[in-house]
């Protein structure tokens, strides 16, 4: 959906994001520390996150929404269901061990249940911060006038972000588009 979210490190979602995403805040996932700080500090942290978010420009919110949307594959139920099933079996083992013939799964001895299977790194681009001084990208050379100038993103609304162009401008690797074309 691409909706920035607030959670705590006492919830399964918040713990999952802290474990599997290097910097959840840069993806629009704000995790409030409820485990290691008191209630008043957690309230201050939430207030700070909300105030910062309210200060974002429309473009910054769009970039954040796009980053949050990139996590949708990770957060799809087809990926999360294995964690749910594992937690359910562990809870059943603790509550009614007599129902099981096998020992409960190990959770802190370096087995597959406790290892981090992946970690999503920080996004490549920094949050958008358009300046009031004008264009942030160089104009094409050749002395074209304003009406003749055309950029790869000229078809976009002023506040939209073209992810392929953004990656190319940052010098990142080529991106395969939906129709199989490599940009």
Distance, in Å, from the CA atom of 128 to the CA atom of 130, rounded to the nearest integer, reads 6
Distance, in Å, from the CA atom of 88 to the CA atom of 175, rounded to the nearest integer, reads 39
CB–CB of 13/112 below 8 Å? no
pLDDT in tens, 129-165: 444 444 444 444 444 444 444 455 555 555 566 666 6
Q: Is the pTM of this model over 0.95?
A: no
- Nearest partner of 120 among 24, 5, 12, judged by Cα: 24
Supply the mean pLDDT for the chain.
73
- Which comes out higher in pLDDT, residue 75 or 183? 75
Distance, in Å, from the CA atom of 30 to the CA atom of 53, rounded to the nearest integer, reads 10
pLDDT at position 134 is 45
pLDDT in tens, 84-105: 888 888 888 888 888 877 776 6
pLDDT at position 138 is 45
For residue 30, with 0-12 CB atoms within 10 Å meaning exposed, 13-18 middle and 19 or more buried, which class applies? Answer: buried
For 37-66, what is the mean pLDDT? 94
pLDDT at position 98 is 82
């Amino acid at each position: 959906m691409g909706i920035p979210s607030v959670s705590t490190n006492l919830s399964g979602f918040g713990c999952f994001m802290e474990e599997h995403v290097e910097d959840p805040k840069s993806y629009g996932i704000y995790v409030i520390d409820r485990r290691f700080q008191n209630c008043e500090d957690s309230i201050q942290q939430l207030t700070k996150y909300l105030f910062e978010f309210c200060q974002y420009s429309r473009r910054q919110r769009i970039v954040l929404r796009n980053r949050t949307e990139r996590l949708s594959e990770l957060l799809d139920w087809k990926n999360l269901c294995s964690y749910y099933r594992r937690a359910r079996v562990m809870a059943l083992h603790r509550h009614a061990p007599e129902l099981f013939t096998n020992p409960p799964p190990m959770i802190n001895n370096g087995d597959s249940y406790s290892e981090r299977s992946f970690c999503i790194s920080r996004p490549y681009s920094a949050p958008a911060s358009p300046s009031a001084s004008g264009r942030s990208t160089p104009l094409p050379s050749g002395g074209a006038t304003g009406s003749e100038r055309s950029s790869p993103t000229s078809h976009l609304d002023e506040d939209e972000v073209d992810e392929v162009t953004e990656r190319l401008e940052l010098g990142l690797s080529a991106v395969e588009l939906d129709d199989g074309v490599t940009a």
